[in-house]
Amino acid sequence: MRPRRPPLGFTLIELILAVSIALILLGLVFSLYHTLSRTVDDQRVRLTGGTAMMHALEQLTRDLMSSMPVPGYDEGGFLLETEQAARGPSSHVAFCTARFRPANESPRDPADDPPDPREARDLRWFDIVEVTYSLEYAPRERGRLIRTERPLTGPAALEPARTNVLATGVDQFHVRVRHEDEWVDAWEVDPDDEEAEWPRAARITVDPDDRARGAHAQTVDVLIPAGWTMEREPAGE
């Protein structure tokens, strides 16, 4: 009698077990990949989003520290408005500030020495520009902190305004200025009013949205030199 050969191939039970084990392994691999991908995304958002907001605060700080009233221009005053939007305070601030020209744009005397190419700016020349900061967002879009610059003097005065997106993923942009002993979120200065007071300090808060995981709200206080006037005491007899 011939010996009985074992059946070739897999039985149905063995095939089901193999497919089940393969599906479990694929699920574990996908779960690990998803976890690692989300961790990398969180780190990227924390680094890029936080860095962008810090740069935006630095830019606004520089503009406020160089701000000044410009009589004769309708845009030469200081305007701060704040509304309570669905996601939190949303401020709109507009004022004039000094922007130093790059060295290669500054007028020069032909008798002067050639400019040093390493110089980024020439402190002898500057333009007056109107800057506007505001928060723009739509229901299905991430909030964007916008800076608009429009030159009022200098060679660029005839050019159109330039708009830059300083940071995305912003829920709140709140600017307050110091008035006596409190912070207020509305201020208006007429540049032709000699008795109008320029704000002395500002407090800026930028708060990221929920999708900017790992980023934190940033707050900075800025001293505004144009708001401080030095009064000379009368000389003693």
- Does residue 184 fall inside a structural domain? yes
- Does residue 235 fall inside a structural domain? no
- Residue 204: the pLDDT is 94
- Does residue 18 fall inside a structural domain? no
Cα distance between residue 60 and residue 74, in whole Å: 21
- Residue 227: the pLDDT is 84
Q: What torsion do the CA atoms of 19, 24, 30, 32 make, to the nearest 10 degrees? A: -150
User: For the chain, which ranges sit under pLDDT 70?
Assistant: 1-10, 35-50, 101-125, 138-141, 210-215, 229-237
- Residue 118: the pLDDT is 45
The alpha carbon of 178 is separated from its chain's Cα centroid by a whole number of angstroms, namely 22
- Does residue 209 fall inside a structural domain? yes
Full domain range(s) for residue 71: 47-104+119-227
- Does residue 171 fall inside a structural domain? yes
- Residue 108: the pLDDT is 45
Statement: the pTM of the whole predicted model exceeds 0.85: no
- Residue 132: the pLDDT is 95
pLDDT digits (tens, 9 = 90+) for 3-27: 555 555 567 777 788 888 888 888 8
The alpha carbon of 120 is separated from its chain's Cα centroid by a whole number of angstroms, namely 23
Domain count, the chain: 1
- Does residue 8 fall inside a structural domain? no
- Does residue 114 fall inside a structural domain? no
- Does residue 236 fall inside a structural domain? no
